[in-house]
């Protein structure tokens, strides 16, 4: 199963690089369109490039690919936020960075939305709030 998923990802990347599946989209009626492949074919694990009569260009991707891309972006955003928060905490000179980060992670989780996503958070302001609310974690000047 993992090997097939790996092959599907490889096929998707190759199809995006090679642009082998090219189609034309023509409007027949108000809600009817004709999708005609000029090169290649519609495949469940590959991207297809579509050009309309009006010259607009689109890329059709399998749902699994979009889900994977969105998941990767979400994970990247969360990791970047945590790294930036760590730097903001470090700049405030904590006694123990790990203790301060434990509090910071707890506080960061309060921002998480009902759908499980983490919105854009001003980490410098969050770090300053943590310093104000937990002065025992930081060296005071």
pLDDT digits (tens, 9 = 90+) for 93-131: 999 999 999 999 999 999 999 999 999 999 999 999 999
pLDDT at 76 over 90: yes
Q: Pick from 113, 119, 118, 127: which is nearest to 85 by CA?
A: 127
What average pLDDT does range 49-55 have in this prediction? 94
User: Distance between CA atoms of 23 and 18, rounded to whole angstroms?
Assistant: 14
Task: Measure Cα distances from 40 to 37, 45, 47 in Å.
Answer: 6, 13, 11
Three-class HEC string of the chain: CHHHHHHHHHHHHHHHHHCCCEEEEEEEECCEEEEEEEECCCCCCCCEEEEECCCCEEEECCHHHHHHHHHHHHHHHHHHHHHHHHHHHHHCCECCHHHHHHHHHHHHHCCCCCCCCCCCCCHHHHHHHHHHHCHHHECCC
Residue 4 is predicted with a pLDDT of 62
Residue 5 is predicted with a pLDDT of 67
Residue 124 is predicted with a pLDDT of 97
With cut-offs at 50, 70 and 90, classify the pLDDT of residue 16: confident
What average pLDDT does range 60-87 have in this prediction? 93
Residue 22 is predicted with a pLDDT of 92
Residue 2 is predicted with a pLDDT of 61
User: Distance between CA atoms of 128 and 107, rounded to whole angstroms?
Assistant: 12
Residue 14 is predicted with a pLDDT of 83
Residue 12 is predicted with a pLDDT of 80
pTM over 0.75: no
């Amino acid at each position: 199963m993992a090997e097939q998923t790996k092959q599907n990802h490889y096929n998707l990347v190759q199809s995006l690089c090679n642009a082998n599946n090219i189609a034309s989209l023509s409007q027949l009626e108000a809600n009817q369109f004709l999708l005609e492949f000029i090169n290649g074919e519609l495949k469940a694990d590959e991207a297809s490039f579509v050009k309309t009569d009006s010259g607009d260009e689109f890329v059709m991707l399998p749902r699994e690919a979009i889900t994977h891309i969105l998941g990767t972006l979400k994970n990247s955003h969360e990791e970047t936020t945590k790294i930036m928060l760590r730097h903001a905490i470090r700049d405030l000179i904590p006694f123990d960075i790990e203790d301060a980060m434990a509090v910071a992670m707890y506080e960061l989780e309060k921002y998480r939305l009902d759908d499980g996503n983490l919105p854009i958070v001003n980490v410098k302001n969050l770090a300053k709030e943590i310093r104000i609310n937990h002065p025992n974690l930081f060296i005071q000047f």
